[in-house]
Structure 1
């Protein structure tokens, strides 16, 4: 089995029966103190994004299928819903989450914004989360694009996760989603301010993501993937050509790596040490609009 086939097999390993397909949503929000400063991301003397995450996880601890709560590099709080059968169930789960966040925000006198772009501060004004993963990303994106630090600390997103029942369905879904990305990004830009000034007609979040790292960001068509037939095979090859931001060391520590992800994955494959978890780590280092 070639490395391309191995990656493709991993992508298709979670294929669902048509009647078992579900949908999930990931939503990020910005939080501010009553003084108008971004909520600190790391634990310190004042209430932090990490403390908020811990409290939210505690509130959901007795839920049968809890959501996944995480913190983005600038302290943006991300809620990832459990997989649901209908959008009504997704909304019910989201409203429960917002009920908890509003309770915490009222107590701590926080302000919640659902904008897709930080309206006031520059990246250097925002603390970076204390995690090796994001240190490696910051080092990479500070060199690759004009607006990489803005993407990490100053943007939020909504991500839709869809199950698929076959290779053909997955390729069609990805192709259609990639085709409509320019339109959907305009319809849902929701970034009216930048550095305290009106954005006017500019789609700033889209501009930021397209100026982060040209070797891993953008549309599939921008990488020459222009047909739905064979899309996943082409995507699997793209993964191998993309420069690695980090790799997983023998003690599970994330380490920098000089070279494409295919080089790292092939070394593991030759050593019979390549797992689906490692492939997922590689896939998560590709930031195309559809992935």
Structure 2
């Protein structure tokens, strides 16, 4: 998650909330690509979770990274909980169970995304290996129970930890046991935002299938290909899902604001303290009726923080955030931004992608989303298997990236980053099915080999 925003201007009207989102509009020449990925730290000896404390803990890892990179430390109550690159805009942060997240700087090409990733992995290895820490590239921790996983010292997480079990059965699994890779992309107008949002929400199950990578829970096959995606179906339905209203007439920044105003809040940050306002809506806070802060008005920081606690399949901030993919090993990470950039940043492809999905109904989109965690490519919408649609989407994305024509130092365009997805489609199997085959064969019914084969 991004660092908490600081802007303590009190808000006067709903228009300011709308304006804050609309400020994300950019000319296409300024479009950027932001990629965030999470990976699970584990002890190289014994494959255990890594605690925060101690000479070989996550805190020590972050301190080592800070010395190496010279980035600004993000502190909370005397603990280092993240790092921020003041010049480039990248950040390193911790998810609740210690999942280590790189929020990449906004870059112009997928080639730069890959270069940033390779630099990051070299830096992380340099510090982590002497500490006896490795990183796993799966969508969910394959062997640990929830109670084994240490809690990171971040105030917002203790509030979320108390609230989650009240609103869904899997919220704590989402917090402590899952990893994702996300891509953040820009829009040139309100209409462009709406079109990209609709296309990417409808096609999010395609990304889920292509990146499905979480078939194990506590050492056993869990019956799903992306259990991470299944977890999101029962985490907190007031703030997640396929947002069917975004396909209705009148969709725009205002409609998103009205949705977000009614999503229950988690916390309000004042100074170093997190105030628990869980379950109370932003609208009540806006009206001065928050139970925990009676009479107090929210600030722009409160709004930005609240927007970062809404988790639909695609999230609108001042950019669009693609949220449907499992975390994957490093070789496949650049394929996610490549897939979405090819579909959304080329006008002809965006039109073709819209033609593909515009006749689907809300019920059909929802059924596809519900089926994909278990069935992957075998999920269906109307009379088509998702596999066929995935093949079509990767072909469209490939054409979009070729038309974009962003060339690397060897004269290759960005379509080369789709190669891992093209290999998956050639095999006809999701990554999870390939892994299950190993589990039932060469791995002899153990998930331990994953800590070698799927490590960064």
Q: Which secondary structure does the structure 2 equivalent of 1:127 belong to?
A: coil
For structure 1, the residue ranges without an aligned partner over 5 or more in a row are none
Query: In 2, Cα distance between the equivalents of 1:25 and 1:228?
Result: 31
Aligned with 2:31 (options 13, 21, 33): 21
Choose which of 27, 52, 59 in structure 2 pairs with 1:50.
59
2:140 corresponding residue in structure 1: 117
Query: Counterparts of 1:261 and 1:48 in 2: how far apart (Å)?
Result: 37
Provide the C-alpha distance between the structure 2 equivalents of 1:186 and 1:172, rounded to a whole number of angstroms.
22
| CA-atom RMSD in angstroms | 2.3
2:34–2:104: 8 Å Cα contact kept in structure 1? yes
1:134 Cα deviation from its structure 2 partner:
0.2
Deviations 1:28-63 (A, max 9, x none): 0011112211111x223x411222123223322277
Hey, what does 1:71 align to over in structure 2? 94
C-alpha deviations, 1:212-248, integer Å up to 9, x for none? 1111121212xx3323751432221111111111123
Within 5 Å, which residues of 2 pair with 1:228-247?
Answer: 229-247=250-268
Which residue in 2 is equivalent to 1:290? 314
Q: Give the number of aligned pairs.
A: 285
Which residue number corresponds to residue 210 of structure 2? 187
SS in 2 for 1:9: helix
Is 1:259 the counterpart of 2:283? The answer is no
Relative distance call for 1:96 and 1:5 in structure 2 (3 A) is same
User: Is the contact made by 2:49 and 2:149 (CA closer than 8 Å) also made in structure 1?
Assistant: yes
Larger displacement relative to structure 2 (238-247 or 148-157): 238-247
CA distance in 2, matches of 1:244, 1:32: 32
Confirm whether residue 90 of structure 1 aligns to residue 110 of structure 2. Answer: no
After superposition, the C-alpha distances for 1:156-180 in whole angstroms (9 at most, x for unaligned) are 1111111222111112111111111
List runs of 5+ in structure 2 lacking aligned partners. Answer: 1-10, 72-84, 290-294, 316-456
TM-score by length of 1: 0.90
Matched with 1:155 is: 178
**Aligned partners of 2:194, 2:166: CA distance in 1, in Å?**
33
Which one has the largest radius of gyration? 2
2:18/2:257 contact within 8 Å kept = yes
Q: 1:178 to 1:2 in 2, by over 3 A?
A: farther
> After superposition, what is the alpha-carbon deviation per residue over 1:236-283, rounded to whole angstroms, capped at 9, x for unaligned?
11111111111234x452211152111113339xx8954432210110
- Residue 126 of structure 2 aligns to a residue in which SS? helix
- Other-structure match for 1:37: 48
SS in 1 for 2:39: strand
Deviation at 1:203, TM superposition (A): 2.4
